[in-house]
Amino acid sequence: MTSIDPAEIAKFEAMAAEWWDPKGKFKPLHMMNPVRLDYIDTQIAAEFGRDRRNLRPFEDLRILDIGCGGGLVSEPMARLGATVVGADAAEGNIAIATLHAQQQGLDIDYRATTAEALVDAGERFDVVLALEIVEHVADPAEFIATCRNLVRPGGLVIASTLNRTAKSFGAAIIGAEWVMRWLPKGTHEWNRFITPDELSGMASAAGLDVVDRYGMVFNPLTWDWSLSHRDLSVNYIMTGRHPA
Ligand SMILES: C[S@@+](CC[C@H](N)C(=O)[O-])C[C@H]1O[C@@H](n2cnc3c(N)ncnc32)[C@H](O)[C@@H]1O
Ligand SMILES: [Mg+2]
């Protein structure tokens, strides 16, 4: 059993050098980063009783960033004091992420591996971050169950992905790939997108309690991103808790 879809990994290998270019192929992730970090920081601080005003509020927390890419989220988690494992199936991503973290003076344990290999190795984390990866794995339900097996009781799985709606086809495929050309054509396959109810169902089936879910909304007029209770029609993020 593997979560790897080789064609998907090949797409990311081909783009690896661009991870830290805010104007490059990962521009949408750079743009979305402040809003998703705000959500993630809030969830973790609330669950583990941490004060976000502290310099290193996530000290002693062990966080897995699965499908970490270039480490756009692994790095801020390490800066907040967490012990971070960044894992990605694409070796090129791990090479880029490792180099960038070194340049930043950050200590992050980057590994070219998969979630299922980490389960086999007996790894356990306080938080598993699965950001913009479920739409790229072989079997999303199986993958979410694997993430659940990587968090200790009382821990969190935080996942973000794209909803499967007419609006997400317009925004993520036509807008981001064809018109804005932020992403190469074919980066995303709309039929692999997952509705919030489907993802909640997968989380529940895996034995996670869904804590909450928020839309991440791009406003083309102000060019900024915000969290929304109501609008989960394109990008969204969700937290599940492994019951203690
Ligand atoms: C869209 S990128 C998201 C990167 C990062 N999570 C972020 O949001 O900035 C998806 C990443 O998942 C990785 N990936 C896809 N399938 C994977 C799998 N089965 N196991 C581990 N990593 C995988 C890809 O190589 C790619 O780096
Ligand atoms: Mg994606």
What is the ipTM for the molecules in this complex? 0.98
User: 187 falls in which pLDDT band (50, 70, 90)?
Assistant: confident
pLDDT of the residue at 183: 85
- Predicted confidence (pLDDT) per residue in 31-53, tens digit: 999 999 999 999 999 999 999 99
Q: Which residue has the higher pLDDT, 183 or 227?
A: 227
Cα(179) to ligand 2 centroid in Å equals 17
pLDDT of the residue at 26: 92
Residue type, 198: E
Q: Which helix (H) or strand (E) holds 218?
A: strand 209-219
Cα dist from 159 to 30, 64, 194, 214, whole Å = 17, 12, 11, 11
| Measured distance CA(230)–CA(222) in Å, rounded | 19
Cα(217) to ligand 1 centroid in Å equals 21
Q: Give the predicted TM-score (pTM) of the model.
A: 0.96
| Measured distance CA(142)–CA(53) in Å, rounded | 37
Instruction: Please report how many Cα atoms fall inside a 13 Å half-sphere around the Cα of residue 14, on the Cβ side.
Output: 11
Of 82-86, 101-105, 168-172, minimum mean pLDDT range: 168-172
From 4, 9, 29, 216, mutation site for ligand 1 pocket: most ligand atoms within 8 A of C-beta: 9
Hey, how many other C-beta atoms are within 10 angstroms of the C-beta on 31? 15
Nearest ligand to the C-alpha atom of residue 193: 2
pLDDT of the residue at 176: 86
Counting atoms of ligand 1 from 1, which one is nearest the CA of 36?
Answer: 8
User: 186 falls in which pLDDT band (50, 70, 90)?
Assistant: confident
Counting atoms of ligand 1 from 1, which one is nearest the CA of 33?
Answer: 9
Cα(83) to ligand 1 centroid in Å equals 20
Percent of the chain with pLDDT over 70: 100
Strand-pair category, 125-131 with 151-162? parallel
Residue 67, marked binder: yes
| Measured distance CA(135)–CA(164) in Å, rounded | 10
Of 136-140, 166-170, 225-229, minimum mean pLDDT range: 166-170
> Any residues with CB less than 8 A from the CB of 11 and at least 6 apart, and which?
184, 186, 187
Residue 130 backbone phi and psi in degrees, to 5: -125, 85
Cα(126) to ligand 1 centroid in Å equals 20
